[in-house]
Amino acid sequence: MGPKLVRTWAQSVLVLVRDYLGTQRVTDKEPKFTRDLPESRRRQLIEATARSLARHGLDGTTVRVVAAEAGVSPGLVRHHFAGMHDLIAETYRWTGKEVEKALRAALTAAPDHPEAQLRAFVDASFSAPLLDPDLLGVWLTFWSLTRTDPEIHAIHGKVYADYRKRLQRYLSGIAEHEKLDLDVRLAALAFTALLDGLWLEHCLDPSTFTAIEACQIAHDWVDTFKAGRFMARAKADGARADGAKPQMIAVPEAKAG
């Protein structure tokens, strides 16, 4: 067999092998593998990680689980990310951006005024897609890692700093419009805590109160702030000229039965 004939034979074999591999059907237990651009593949893996965290929690989210969720091989996960820690950190960043995107979409439809923007922010916080038990599962994982993982802690700090800055900007606009002398930094901290608490409790047990009631509570807080009553008692105590300690609110003693 001459060299030219050998090359022709080898090329024919390669074609047959490719055709054979291309027509093989995978079983239900085997994911179908596809070739995508790197950024598209990374996003696919991040979204798969978020779904796994929501369903299985941190302990149940492994390279193999994420790979199966995304329909890729475990090796491809390791190709795009250094490991699960890297993938979870990127998932936190992505989740924060997705929340910001959802809020921005809701705020675009509201009038360009601080109070209107703030109230639209409240309504969006207790509506789909943000009011979602699956999102809670993802957040709980991130929160649990914040105290022990420096990188997750840094991401958490940035995500919540951006969140509070937005609220503080709206509150500052309201205070300026109403000519209020208030500590808007503390107000933003307080309002963030209120929204987070209501959101967390509702996602944990929606039977406790409705999303509408959560909005009503938050809007009432905005009314209180707008009326200049935020931390009114603390301001009064701070203005005491005699330097005496703030008086505690008296609580009636329970009567013996």
Burial of 212 (0-12, 13-18, 19+ CB in 10 A): exposed
Give, in words, the CATH class of 85-229: mainly alpha
Mean pLDDT calculated for residue range 84-102 = 94
Predicted local confidence at residue 232, as pLDDT: 78
Residue ranges per domain, the chain? 32-81, 85-229
Do domains 32-81 and 85-229 share one topology? The answer is no
Q: Which of 88-97, 203-212, 233-242 has the lowest mean pLDDT?
A: 233-242
Q: Phi and psi for 6 in degrees, rounded to 5? A: -65, -45
Predicted local confidence at residue 33, as pLDDT: 46
Give, in words, the CATH class of 32-81: mainly alpha
pTM above 0.85, yes or no: no
Q: Tokens for 17, please give them.
A: 């092998």
Predicted local confidence at residue 95, as pLDDT: 94
State how far the Cα of 117 lies from the Cα of 108, in Å rounded to an integer: 9
First to last CA, the chain: 110
Report which of 185, 164, 165, 163 is spatially closest to residue 175, judged by C-alpha positions. Answer: 185
Q: Is the dihedral of CA 184, 185, 191, 192 positive or negative?
A: positive
Predicted local confidence at residue 197, as pLDDT: 96
pLDDT band for position 236 (cuts 50, 70, 90): low
When the pLDDT of each residue in the chain is averaged and rounded to a whole number, the result is: 83
pLDDT tens digits along 157-182: 999 999 999 999 999 999 999 999 99
Q: Is the pLDDT of residue 27 over 50?
A: no
